[in-house]
Amino acid sequence: MEAFRFKAGPAPLLVSMPHVGTHVPEQIAARMTADALTLPDTDWHVDQLYDFLDDLGANILTATHSRYVIDLNRHPEGRPLYPGASNTELCPTTSFANAPLYRPGQAPDENEVAERRRLYWQPYHDRLAACLAALQAEHGRVLLWDAHSICSRVPRFFEGQLPDLNIGSGGGVTAAPSVIDAVAEVARDPEYGHVVDGRFKGGYITRHYGQPEQGLHAVQLELSWATYMDEAPPFAFRDDLAAGIRPVLRRMVEAGLGALEAVG
């Protein structure tokens, strides 16, 4: 199985979904725990939720493999995203619940991590970088939207319940202020709570590729599962909930795109 799926579009918009994949190669799955194989930390149904992207002319890049195989939103050398806080690795060995993903003695060693990086991480990022370069050459300014979701309560990473819409811009440096402000203004929808650069400030993808001075504007959205799905297994998609949040997501992406036109 290829490391990603890519669909081209005419707009200066690339939507990356690095954590929607669920495939685990047999030789890896054979060493994992039964609980790990339920893949509880997947960004469930994000591709289904963003079903409006074709209407916007977006370029869409989605992972095929589980983040347990390799985390496409981590630094390739394994540097922590949030120094001093709890972090998961490039090739995770524990779940968000701090449970082991591998049976004793079966976790990947450095050589295996390097091989997974070559097989899965590098192709995704090569395609992402190539798409951004092509869009920049054609349009001058590009919006990279990194789409994520997470359980609303994960004590390992934050206290209490997470806001519904968590906008990340690396502390205001991965996109022009006007782009961030436009996205955040839509997120002020009275039905949902939001925060900008709260617990989740953007992962490796947002921070690495967001270079607004070069016309590359990157925004991460970490969406609470509670807005569109059941948070307990089997993690079912909820059409009734999605009907509320999906139009907000669309307006947020449209607002970011619209703000590009005013960026000098």
Strands 142-150 and 216-224: parallel
The CATH number that applies at residue 207 is: 3.40.630.40
187-232 pLDDT, tens digit each: 999 999 999 999 899 999 999 999 999 999 999 999 999 999 999 9
Question: Which structural domain, as residue segments, surrounds residue 118?
Answer: 4-260
151-169 pLDDT, tens digit each: 999 988 899 999 999 999 9
Using 50, 70 and 90 to split pLDDT, how confident is the model at 83?
confident
CA distance readout (Å), 177 to 75, 107, 128, 213: 25, 42, 23, 12
User: How many folded domains does the chain comprise?
Assistant: 1
As a whole number of angstroms, the distance between CA 176 and CA 171 comes to: 11
Q: What percent of the chain has pLDDT over 70?
A: 100
Residues forming beta bridges with residue 23, ordered by sequence position: 65
Give the containing element (helix H, strand E) for 16.
strand 13-17
The model's pTM? 0.96
109-150 pLDDT, tens digit each: 999 999 999 999 999 999 999 999 999 999 999 999 999 999
Listed in sequence order, the residues at least 6 apart from 24 whose beta carbon sits closer than 8 Å to its beta carbon are: 32, 37, 39, 65, 66, 68, 69
Task: Please name which of 184, 176, 171, 172 lies closest in space to residue 141, comparing C-alpha atoms.
Answer: 176
pLDDT at residue 85 is higher than 80 = no
87-118 pLDDT, tens digit each: 788 999 999 999 999 999 999 999 999 999 99
The angle formed by the CA atoms of residues 232, 220 and 96, to the nearest 5 degrees, is 35
